[in-house]
Chain A
Amino acid sequence: MDSLNTILSVKNLTVGYKSKTVLNELNLTLSKGEVTALLGPNGSGKSTLLRTISSIQEPISGGVLLEEKSLESISRKELAKQLSLVLTNAEAPGNLTVFALVALGRFPYTSWMGQLKKEDNEIIYRALDQTGLLSFANRHVGELSDGERQKVMIARALVQDTPLIFLDEPTTHLDSPNRIEVFHLLRTLAHDFGKTILVTTHEIDLALAYADSLWLIGKGQRVLQGLPEDLVLSTALETAFHKEELVFDYTKGAFTKGERSSSVSVEISGDEILKKWTEKALLRASKINSKIEVVVTGEVGNPLWDIPSQDKSFKTIKELITHLLNQENEKN
C-alpha cells in the first residue's frame, strides 16, 4: 500500500477510550498533495481517529508513522512544524484583527515574545492571499461571518507552515456556498501548493466532489481506503451510511428517501436542465395523472412552459401545476 508519495501511514492502529474501543486495527495512508476525506456518519469516531493521529489522544495500540518516524518520537515542538489543525468550533477571540490571529500560527518559529520578522510577515501575507483574506487583514475577527472566520483559521494553519493540515468538520456551522468555498480552497491548497490535507466530514456530496481519496468509516469499527468512485461502486459508501428507508441514488451520488411515485405521466420535452427541474416538481405533485404533453422553451433564467394541445403557456412551474391540478379536479 505504501507508495513513494506516502507522507503518513497508520499501522495496526486501534483508537478509542479506556472503556471503549472506537475503531479497530486500522491500516491507512495519506499521500502528498492530496485531499483525503475522512468520511463517516455522526458519532462513528471521525474526531477520535483524527485526534489520535494528530497526537492529541493516545492510541490504544498500534502507531502512526510520519515520514517513516514514529509519531511518539516526535516532540510537540517538532510536530507543530509538521502538522497543523483546524477545529470545528467557529468561535475565535473576536478582539483580534485577522492579521493578529493568523500571526499566532507563527508560534513555533518566533522568539519568546512572538516578535514577527520580515520573513514571518511575508508568510502571513502569502497565507492571507491564498485564502482570499488580504482585504480583511485589519478587520476584527468578531465582525466576520462564520465562513470567513473558518477561512481565517485555515490561514492560521497555513502560516504554521506544515506539510500536513488536518481539519475536523470545518464546515459544520457553514451554509452551502461557504462549505463549497472551504472545500474548494482545500483542494487548491493540496493541488497547487502541495499541502497534504485530511478533512473529516459527514457530508457525502462534498467528500465525493472534492476528495482525491477517502477514508470511509464502515461497519464493524473498520475504515476503508480508496478512491471515492471505487467506494461508491463497491457499495461500501451505501453500506456505511445505510439507514432504513433511505436509498442511495447512484446517478446523483446522494441518499434519498424512497419516492412516492417514480415516474411522471406528463410528457415533457425541451432543454435537459429545465426538463429535469420540471420533472422534479411534477414528481412531488403526485396527483397529476393526465398524459398531456408539455414543452419547455427558453433557458435557465428565462424559462417558459407550453401545453401545445391547449394553446396555453405558463411563466412558472407553479402556474403549470395549478392548471394541471384544476383539470384533474374538473375530470373527477
Chain B
Amino acid sequence: MTPEQSILPQSRTRLIVTLLLALTVLFFTDLILGSVNIPIGAAFEILFSSSHENQAWYAIIHKIRLPRSITAVLVGGALSVAGLQMQTLFRNPLAGPSVLGITAGASLGVAAVMLVTGSASTAFAIKEMGLGGSWLIVIASSLGAAAVLFIILLISFKIRDNVVMLIVGLMMANITIAVVSIWQFFSSPEQIQEYILWTFGSLGGTTNDQLLVLTVIVIAGVVLTFLLSKSLNTLLLGEAYAQSMGLNVLKARVAIIGVTSILAGAVTGFCGPIGFVGIAVPHLVRSFLNTSDHRVLIPSAVIMGAIIMLLCDIISQVPGSNSVLPINAITALIGSPVVIWVIVKRRNLKASF
C-alpha cells in the first residue's frame, strides 16, 4: 500500500552522476586548453605527481589555470544557488541576483571602495594588500548587495505582485548603476579604468589568498542554503501556506536574502558582475530533473552552475588563440538564449511557479 517515495529515483541519480562526470571532464579540459598548448599527459603528470620537469608548464597549471578553474566552479555554483533562492522567494521565474539589482548593489560597494578612497585602493592596490584587501572588497560588495536586497525586501512587504516586484528590482538596478556612473564622472581616468576592467568580469584575477576566502564563503553559503531547503520547499506554495504550516516567514526571508547577498556579493567582489548564470541555471536544473524539491535542486544547481561556468571559461579563452574575452560577455551570450528558451517554453515555466 505504501511504496517508498524517494527523492532520488534511479533516473535522477543517473542524471546527477552524468552531470558530475561532465563537470570532471570540463574541469580538466579547462586546465589543458589555453594560449599555451600543454599536452594532456603532461598536464596530468604536473597535477598528480608534482613533477617539475617543465617549470613554465608547472607554473601555468598551478599558478594560473588551476585557480582559474576552481574559481569558475565556485562562481558558477554560488550564482546558481543564489538565483535559485531568489526565484523561489519571489516566486518569479525571472528573478536572479543580477536582475533584482543585487549585482548592481555589489558593484556600488566596489565602486565606493575603488573610486572614493582614492588611488591607493585601485583594484591592483587591493590585490597587493592580500587577505585584508580581499575582505575589504568582499565586505563592501556584500554590503552593497545586502543594501539593495533589503530595500527590495521592504518594498516586497507592501507589494505582493511578482511582476511589479521584478520591475522594482530592475529600477533599483538602474538607480544603482546611475549612482555609480555619476561617481565615475567625478573620478580620475585611471580609477575608472580599473573599475571598468572589473565590470568585464574575470575568473583569472583571484590570488591564492582570495581563492581561499571565496572557497570558504561559497561552501558556507551553499551549506546554509541546503539547510534552508525545507523552508524553501514550503515557500513554493506561497507565504500564506508556509505560515499556516508553522514556518516563520520573516525569519526565512531574512535568512534567504542574507545568504544570497553573501554569495552574490562575494562572487561579484572577486570576479566582477557576472550575469545570467543565476537566472539560467535554476531553470535548466528544474527542467532536467523535473522537480522543484530544493533538496535535489540545490546540489544539482551547484554542479550545473559549475559546468556552465567552466564551459564559458573555455570559450572565453578562445582555444587556439592568445586572446581572452571578458567572461561577462560570454555568460550573457550563452545565458540569454537559455532565458529565451525558458520563456518560449512557457509550459515549463508556468509549471514551476
Contacts and interface: CB of A to CB of B under 8 A. Distances in A.
Given A95-B286, A114-B233, A121 B2 contact: yes
Contacts of B230: 107, 110, 112-114
The bracket for how many chain A residues form the interface is 35 or more
Contacts of B240: 56, 85, 87
Given A99-B5, A122-B2, A108 B291 contact: no
B245 A160 contact: yes
Contact of B291 (A100, A103, A124, A137): A100
A107 B5 contact: no
Interface in B230-274: 230, 233-234, 236-238, 240-241, 243-248
A94 B246 contact: no
Contacts of B350: 94, 142
B194 interface: no
Interface string A127-163: 0000000000100101000000000000000001000
Interface stretch (A72-80, A178-186, A302-310, A318-326): A72-80
Nearest to A113: B230
A76 to B, nearest CB: 5
A107 B291 contact: no
Q: Which of A83, A107, A116 is packed against the most chain B CB atoms within 10 Å?
A: A107
A170 interface: no
A122 B5 CA distance: 11
Contacts of A112: 227, 230
A294 B63 CA distance: 101
Given A83-B244, A112-B230, A113-B295, A95 B2 contact: no
Contacts of A77: 246
Contacts of A160: 245
A191 B233 CA distance: 32
A104 interface: yes
Interface in B8-36: none
A116 B243 CA distance: 20
B224 to A, nearest CB: 12
Nearest to A54: B244
A315 B247 CA distance: 62
A96 B352 CA distance: 8
A32 B293 CA distance: 36
Nearest to A77: B246
Interface hub of B233, B290, B347 (most chain A Cβ within 10 A): B233
Contacts of B351: 93-95, 140, 142
A103 B5 contact: yes
A215 B13 CA distance: 52
A105 interface: yes
A253 B7 CA distance: 50
Given A100-B293, A114-B229, A93 B243 contact: no
Nearest to B91: A93
B22 to A, nearest CB: 23
A263 interface: no
A167 to B, nearest CB: 12
B243 A56 contact: yes
Contacts of A79: 246
A104 B234 contact: yes
B292 interface: yes
Contacts of B229: 113-114
B5 A116 contact: yes
B179 to A, nearest CB: 35
Contacts of A122: 2
Contacts of B347: 142
Interface string B213-239: 000000000000001011001101110
A116 B2 CA distance: 13
- Residue picked from B1, B241, B243, B347, most chain A C-beta under 10 Å: B241
A42 interface: no
Contacts of B341: none
A60 B261 CA distance: 37
Nearest to A137: B5
B124 interface: no
A110 B240 CA distance: 20
B91 to A, nearest CB: 8
A125 B351 CA distance: 24
A95 B244 CA distance: 22
Interface in B314-353: 347, 350-353
Nearest to A121: B2
A57 to B, nearest CB: 11
Contacts of B245: 80, 84, 104-105, 107-108, 160
A92 interface: yes
Interface centre among B7, B243, B246 (most CB of A within 10 A): B246
A89 interface: yes
16 contacts: A80-B244, A81-B246, A84-B245, A87-B240, A87-B241, A93-B351, A95-B352, A96-B236, A96-B293, A97-B291, A99-B5, A104-B237, A108-B245, A121-B2, A125-B2, A142-B351
Given A79-B246, A100-B7, 14 more contacts: A56-B240, A77-B246, A80-B245, A87-B238, A92-B237, A93-B351, A93-B352, A95-B286, A104-B236, A112-B227, A116-B5, A118-B2, A124-B5, A160-B245
Interface of B: 1-2, 4-5, 7, 227, 229-230, 233-234, 236-238, 240-241, 243-248, 286, 290-293, 295, 347, 350-353
